[in-house]
Amino acid sequence: MFDFEPATTEAARLLDGVREADLTKPSPCEKWPVATVLNHLLGLGVAFAAGAAKTPLPFDGPPPQPTPDLSAGWRKELPRRLDALAAAWADPAAWNGMTQVAGVDMPGEVCALVALDEVMVHSWDLAVATGQRLTVDPALAGALFDFWAGQEGDTGDLPFRQVIFGEIVEVPPSATVFDRVLGLTGRDPSWTAA
């Protein structure tokens, strides 16, 4: 088990630095503007909290194009959802047995790592797209690196990490652990808005 709170608190902190003019800016998450990243964080907060509770939500497949539309109360709602996510994974029962998120069955401990990755990597997307700096908990970054670096075995036709990410971006071994995680998720740690 690990504590989600450093990651969820940092994600919520970034919201103060997001201006309305930022919502249409591009992010490192290909084809997703800032508003779409925020919308995704709103959705994953609910989905992964439900996964922790072993009460998966109905899933009919991803929408053809993630929506950039945000409700008027997103600045208050997103921190609430992130807090609920952290609280859900604070329960030791969340880590045991099988669960499901977005139609994918997985062990609880794997679901926790995928949830952590979603929060931390999309927080980075948000930070760099809006000119902010993300503070990364080293222990959480290490957990993610160990997880993704070990996902080169097949789950069907593709390595598991390629099911949800693009091609690996080569990052020097001397880079920070989190930069290496970013590379494993198909992101260039030196990304800047064009």
Domain residue ranges in the chain: 5-136
Return phi, psi of residue 26, to 5°. Answer: -70, 155
Q: What is the pLDDT along the chain (194 residues), one digit of tens a residue?
A: 999 999 999 999 999 999 999 999 999 988 899 999 999 999 999 999 999 999 988 887 766 666 677 888 999 999 999 999 999 999 999 999 999 998 889 999 999 999 999 999 999 999 999 999 999 999 999 999 998 887 654 444 334 555 567 788 999 989 999 999 999 888 999 998 76
Cβ neighbour number for residue 46 with a 10 Å cutoff: 13
Strand partners, 104: 101
Question: What pLDDT shows up at residue 17?
Answer: 97
Retrieve residue 183's tokens. Answer: 């590379």
Q: Look at residue 158 and give its three-state secondary structure.
A: strand
Question: What pLDDT shows up at residue 80?
Answer: 97
The CATH number of domain 5-136, selected from 1.20.120.530, 1.10.10.10, 1.20.1530.20, 1.20.120.450: 1.20.120.450
Question: What pLDDT shows up at residue 61?
Answer: 72
The span from the CA of 13 to the CA of 179, in Å, is 20
Cβ neighbour number for residue 123 with a 10 Å cutoff: 24
